[in-house]
Amino acid sequence: MKKIIICLACALLVVFTAFGAPRKKDVSEAETTQNLLYRQSLDLYKKGNIEQAKAIWKQTMDVSTTDVTQRARMTSLLQMAEYAEKKIANPEDVERKMISASDTGSADVAPLATGDELTIYFTSRRKNPLGEKMYKQRGIYADNVYRATRTSYTSNEWEVELLGPPVSSHDHDGTAGISADGRNIFVYKGSSDFGFFEMDPIKGTVYMDLKKKYPSLKLGDAHISSIAVSEDERIVIYSAYELEGGYGESDLWLVEKDVYDGSYGEPVNLGPTINTLRDEISVSMTPDGKTIFFASDGHPTMGGYDIYRSRRIGDSVWETPVNLGHPINTTANDIYYFSVATNPKHGYYSSENPYSKGVYDIYYVDILSDILSDTEKAAMEKAAADKAEAERLEKERIALEARKQTESEARKREEKLKAEAAARDAAAREREEQLRLAAALREAEAAAREAQMKADYAAREDSIKNAAANREAELLAKKGYQDINSLTDVKVGDKVILKNVFFEIGKATILPESYAELEKVYVLLVNNPNIRLEVSGHTDNTGRRATNMKLSEGRAQSVTTYLKAKGINPGRLSVKGYGPDVPIESNESTLGRSLNRRVEFIVIK
């Protein structure tokens, strides 16, 4: 199959056809006017002027008595408008907000939010130095990857930066997915090399070539615009154009890891319940791999692309997609709904600005964890109507019988009605108790889920801390440092960093939690009575040099003072403060500066 080299944002922004725009052809002046009116009706509809658009479509049907194709198109648009009116009349209980970083008048799409929602990666055509090259050649800025960092947990203010090479280039590059822990993003590289790359957004370096990691995705055979991976990396779901065996132009596909050999199987189409004859794109997934969100213009839609949710039932069955409704979806195009974090609170997505051509903004809404399907809503509405009708008929029956019967018969009926009312009250109390017990069970289950999520979070944090400690240990080993816990055969030149010796900020005063580490040095000197140590202090390059030199020597002196107080011969210890002059790592990173602030010793005799 021929490779489709197309940028991610281009694929997302070319959505006008979702409204069924007619093809151009040689037509009469009257037909040209009709086509112009048709395009105007689509603009009106996108802007929410549904009644005006419907009037034009109905008028078009009236004059198109013999044009079967035109009448079918108008019928489809009128059905779409009716669906939108129902959704708008019964909105979801959520608030839709635009992130301030997106209000720039440019196309911002494919937002990827980290679990703490403090960082969002997205694709944009904003004016920037990297995009200038393509602008001069084609008149448009290239799609590039940006990072927006929230200024505080409660603020809607963001600091935005362009992620330069290798994440972004002079060509089209776009966000396509994010890992469940938010530490890696999938980036589509337009024409530098066909395929996706998993990027480390902090270091800005290529982390993994997905052609090698997921060979069964057939990256060279189809254009893949989005990808979602479960937290355990067992399930991968992606949207692909023109992959053989699909139902429409773009379908959702699944590959699953074999639990025995760790290999990924062949792509499996999610089937006609999910995929239609048109586009299913912009897929994202909850960490457990059981729920997906995606955009489609093939399912019942309010207009263009809408966002849907579907849950996995068993191994291969998916529930009928649920339209997330209004105000999440609008009469314009709505794409991407990412909620991949652990315990997510919001979903982030792109929505078309119908008043500015080619402009998309990024919005966020509350996660809808208990969205009712249309069938469930209809059942609830019918039950409420039936109850109201039954109550009305009951009142009429009582009034009619009271007028026809004598006082004696009326008393008997009254007693009967009281008994029936008591029975109903008893039944109501029983139902209320059942509901109370069910609510208590749900609360207990929610508490258990919350406890499990906290435990999972703690486990992940421990894993991250252990990985960081291992990386630090490997780095120090490469620099020639020994671990004091495993230092047995002591020889001249051995050097050790006292990793667990701590001081008051900006001072040479040793904190009590340092004593355990200092006791190890003391034991080493006692067990090796013939060795001498040079104890040296070091700082990073932050601040004044003279201050750093004094501080480093003072901290080294505090360590030797402690050891002398324990009975170590002062002649076996020498002190040196090097300040920032002997770094072991670059001061350009937080980790490097942390490693450079240290007290160490070297065996000099």
Per-residue pLDDT, 442: 85
Average pLDDT of 205-228?
Answer: 74
Q: Copy the structure tokens of residue 51.
A: 């009644």
Residue 16: band (very low, low, confident or very high) from pLDDT cuts 50, 70, 90: very low
> What is the tens place of the pLDDT at every residue in 151-195?
887 788 899 999 888 788 888 888 888 888 777 888 887 754 545
Looking at the DSSP assignment, which residues form a beta bridge with residue 348? 338, 364
Percent of the chain with pLDDT over 70: 85
Average pLDDT over residues 107-131: 87
Q: Does the structure show a pLDDT above 60 at 377?
A: no
As a whole number of angstroms, the distance between CA 544 and CA 528 comes to 38
pTM over 0.75: no
Alpha-carbon span 6 to 227, nearest angstrom: 16
- Token readout for 350 is 């792109």
| Cα–Cα distance measured from residue 66 to residue 83, given in angstroms and rounded to the nearest whole number | 27
**pLDDT value for 571:** 92
Q: Which two tokens stand for residue 272?
A: 């006609």
Sorted by sequence, the CB contacts under 8 Å of residue 233 that are 6+ apart come out as 257
The mean per-residue pLDDT over the stretch 504-519 comes to 93
Most confidently modeled range among 181-185, 222-226, 298-302, 378-382: 298-302
Which residue matches tokens 């132009």?
249
**Residue among 575, 574, 494 at smallest CA distance from 532:** 574
List of residues 6+ apart from 506 with CB closer than 8 A: 551
What is the rounded CA–CA span in Å between residue 463 and residue 448?
Answer: 22
Kindly report the CATH number that applies to the domain delimited by 97-371.
2.120.10
List CB contacts of 246: < 8 A, sequence separation 6 or more.
240, 253, 269, 275
The residue ranking higher by pLDDT, 3 or 254, is 254
| Per-residue exposure over 491-503, b if at least 16 CB sit within 10 Å of its own CB, e if not | eeebbbbbbebeb
Q: What burial letters (b/e) apply to 53-66, b meaning 16+ CB within 10 Å?
A: bbebbeebbeebee
Domain 480-603, CATH: 3.30.1330.60
Q: What is the pLDDT of residues 544-586, one digit of tens each?
A: 999 999 999 999 999 999 999 999 999 999 999 999 999 999 9
3-class secondary structure, 74: helix
Tokens of 534: 């040079």
How high is the pLDDT of residue 15?
Answer: 35
> Domain segments of the chain: what residues?
8-89, 97-371, 405-470, 480-603
pLDDT(202) > 70: no
Binned at pLDDT 50, 70 and 90, residue 384 comes out as low
Alpha-carbon distances of 502 from 483, 505, 518, rounded to whole Å: 17, 9, 10
pLDDT band with cut points at 50, 70 and 90 for residue 368: low
Q: Which helix (H) or strand (E) holds 87?
A: helix 68-89
| Residues 50, 81 contacting (CB under 8 angstroms) | yes
CA distance 48 to 332: 8
HSE (side-chain half, CA atoms, 13 Å) at 14: 6
Q: How many Cα atoms occupy the beta-carbon half-sphere of 407 within 13 Å?
A: 0
Query: Would the pLDDT of 14 be above 60?
Result: no
Residue 530 carries which DSSP code?
T
Q: Measuring CA to CA, how many Å separate 133 from each of 33, 64, 105, 170?
A: 40, 48, 21, 6
Dump pLDDT digits (tens) for 222-234: 678 889 998 888 9
pLDDT in tens, 275-290: 999 999 999 888 888 8
